Structure 1
Amino acid sequence: MQKEPQLDRKEVLETRGYLSDVAVWPSPSRMDLGGWLDNFDQGLDSEIAIALLEAHVHIDEEQIVYAVASTIRGISSRVEFGDSISRAANWSEFVRDVLISFPLSRSGDPTASGYVFARIAKRLRFEENRILDSEHLIKKILTSGPSSVIFLDDLAASGTQFTRDWRRRYQTDSGKVSLADLQSKDFISSAYYLPVVATQDAITKIESECGVIVAPTYSLDRDYQALDANTRLVPVALRPSLPEFFAKYSPRTGRDEYGPVGYGDLGLALSFHHSCPNNTLPVLQWSPCAESWRPLLK
């Protein structure tokens, strides 16, 4: 059997440093690549850390804007917009009238990434009065009548955040109402959820429980999760050592409140320009410097 090539610390630092220099990764002043690698013992632990750094995907702001724009354009090819003759007119009408929203982990959360996507929607020239959080979206639909909705987001990891937001009831002049209630009464004529990244499990959960079309820019199979038997995040020879590695280092990060591989045990290696999801491995999450830990991003 051919031996897998060993990852080289210097090469990984150079490639990731270059990505930082050209603004694909966070700026060099925020990154501490060498300090982060120094958290790990030499030998096997260092090999695993280098592999995880190599596998880590960071999506910057302009990539997110491009992803959102291309995914919105992508749904224009769906059958509901008609054939090649009628599609252009139907799509123009849809874009003119569609409402834009974003799921929140909890009502009124001012730190939620949804507000980042509200700004992106404005950049894409959607009118401000059609960009609404769930509470105001419900009230507008009740006032204006049946509407189509596009939901924007960075990550659908487990699907729980969207399904909770879909069922969350808000007080209106008609009593407490949720998006699910509106859909059941045909007040939502069509709904598209367009996260930049989604796992296959999240897509299945949302489409089956909410009846919403999920069309991510990038979809992740289970092998993008750290503890999957066939994980892509490290070479085959390193996979058996991952549980012990995470049990050893995650508590040092101060970001292991959801366990050694993050929320939902998903163990992703992913971050965005505005945040690092709690489904990401704690050893890769952004965190304040601690006596026992130097985070990847300051």
Structure 2
Amino acid sequence: MPLDRPSQELNVALLSEKCSDFAKFQIWPLRTRLDARAWLGNFQDDDLPLARHLLNAFMYFNDDLTRQLFVAALQGIGVLQPWRARRRGNIFDDWSTFLQSASLTYVTGEIPNPADSGHLFARAARDHAGVSEEQILNPVEALERIAIRGDRSPVVFVDDFVGSGDQFTETWERRYDIGGKSYSFSEAASDADRAGTPLEVYYAPAVCTMYGLDNIKRRCPGVEISAGNILDQRYNVFHPDSLVWPAELVADGQALVRRLSVALGLPEDESEWGLFGYHGLGLAIGFAHKTPDATIPLFRYRAEHWRPLVKDV
């Protein structure tokens, strides 16, 4: 989803109309969830031109758009060269066979939680991509099928958003209790390679940063990634060639974000609430079900004198 670099002269009336229409047509939610007017009210008059550029760059993925991107990611597996290299028949028949035989699982935190967003996208695969309920497994079940039953059916991890890629790599490397032994997907893949029966593993997130994609490729060799939308580094508010700002205002815009973040007491680091966003990704995005910690806190921070643009459920 390319973002054109904005002109230095941002039409204020057009931006206001855009925000109003996005809410009217339900691209953006009601003001109780996303309030552009209240957020702009945080800024002094002198800072408003830059604040409007920041607002103009914000990308909000509602449920419908996120679901469409996710289904595109899942279907995109069929155009990956490694997927095609494993198959020599009719591509449509091969895809149908693949989809009916694959095990679908999801990424979890250190302590798996029913609220993990992977559950939502496993259900989306069932409801919108023709995957049966029986194919959806939690990570332990998927790993047991590989380690105990010797199943070599394709494994597809599903997700909404990849920022740093850490959550996937941690799921991949995490040791689970499998048949009384500590075992990981990483070890299972290595063992399968040595046995000459390599695992076929895919990861299908709706939205993925280039940073996260590179991180996963480096730490999880053999995992093929098909994303519905890939955000390159220039979507970072702090990138030297950031697409968020007009070319003439990059330095001024970045200085504004830094100044206001420090004034709010946000740490000058790459932590979850650090002013640069988690891992320094500096994004300006939100989803209907959450705002990633890779998004700069100025959009999501709440304080007595600071109203967030987006409010999580």
- Normalised by the length of structure 1, the TM-score is 0.89
Query: Counterparts of 1:223 and 1:31 in 2: how far apart (Å)?
Result: 24
Matched, 1:291 2:304: yes
Q: 1:30 to 1:200 in 2, by over 3 A?
A: closer
- Structure 1 residue corresponding to 2:44, chosen from 28, 41, 44: 41
Please report how far the alpha carbon of residue 90 of structure 1 lies from its aligned counterpart in structure 2 after TM superposition. 2.2
Please report how far the alpha carbon of residue 262 of structure 1 lies from its aligned counterpart in structure 2 after TM superposition. 1.0
CA contact (8 A) 2:286 2:310 kept: no
1:67 matched residue in structure 2 = 69
Q: Map 1:125-136; keep pairs closer than 5 Å.
A: 125-136=130-141
Matched, 1:105 2:109: yes
2:34 match: secondary structure: coil
1:150 match: secondary structure: strand
1:168 matched residue in structure 2 = 174
Query: Counterparts of 1:110 and 1:47 in 2: how far apart (Å)?
Result: 42
Deviations 1:114-133 (A, max 9, x none): 12212212212322232123
Query: Counterparts of 1:81 and 1:87 in 2: how far apart (Å)?
Result: 11
1:146 matched residue in structure 2 = 152
- Structure 1 residue corresponding to 2:252, chosen from 234, 238, 241: 241
Cα RMSD for the two superposed structures: 2.2
- Structure 1, unaligned runs of 5 or more: none
Matched, 1:184 2:193: no
2:200 match: secondary structure: strand
Please report how far the alpha carbon of residue 252 of structure 1 lies from its aligned counterpart in structure 2 after TM superposition. 6.3
2:274 matched residue in structure 1 = 259
Q: 1:10 to 1:222 in 2, by over 3 A?
A: same
Deviations 1:74-113 (A, max 9, x none): 2223423534x53233222211110111212323133322
Please report how far the alpha carbon of residue 200 of structure 1 lies from its aligned counterpart in structure 2 after TM superposition. 1.9
Please report how far the alpha carbon of residue 20 of structure 1 lies from its aligned counterpart in structure 2 after TM superposition. 1.4
- Structure 2 residue corresponding to 1:15, chosen from 8, 18, 40: 18
Aligned residues with identical type, % of pairs? 28
Q: Map 1:70-81; keep pairs closer than 5 Å.
A: 70-78=72-80, 79-80=84-85
Query: Counterparts of 2:259 and 2:106 in 1: how far apart (Å)?
Result: 37
Amino acid at match of 2:207: V
Query: Counterparts of 1:254 and 1:13 in 2: how far apart (Å)?
Result: 30
Deviations 1:130-188 (A, max 9, x none): 21232232123334422211111122222222111100011121401111111112276
- Structure 1 residue corresponding to 2:216, chosen from 183, 206, 221: 206
Deviations 1:208-245 (A, max 9, x none): 32121112111122111111110001112221123432
- Normalised by the length of structure 2, the TM-score is 0.85
Query: Counterparts of 2:126 and 2:114 in 1: how far apart (Å)?
Result: 18
After TM superposition, the structure 1 stretch with the greater mean CA deviation from structure 2, 94-103 or 256-265, is: 256-265
Amino acid at match of 1:295: P
Please report how far the alpha carbon of residue 7 of structure 1 lies from its aligned counterpart in structure 2 after TM superposition. 1.4
2:109 match: secondary structure: coil
- Structure 2, unaligned runs of 5 or more: 1-5
Query: Counterparts of 2:73 and 2:93 in 1: how far apart (Å)?
Result: 19
Query: Counterparts of 2:264 and 2:19 in 1: how far apart (Å)?
Result: 21
1:189 match: secondary structure: coil
2:206 matched residue in structure 1 = 196
Query: Counterparts of 1:274 and 1:82 in 2: how far apart (Å)?
Result: 37
2:142 matched residue in structure 1 = 137
1:223 matched residue in structure 2 = 234
Higher RCO structure (Cα 8 Å, ≥6 apart): 2
Count of residue pairs brought into register by the alignment: 292
CA contact (8 A) 1:159 1:203 kept: yes
Please report how far the alpha carbon of residue 273 of structure 1 lies from its aligned counterpart in structure 2 after TM superposition. 1.2
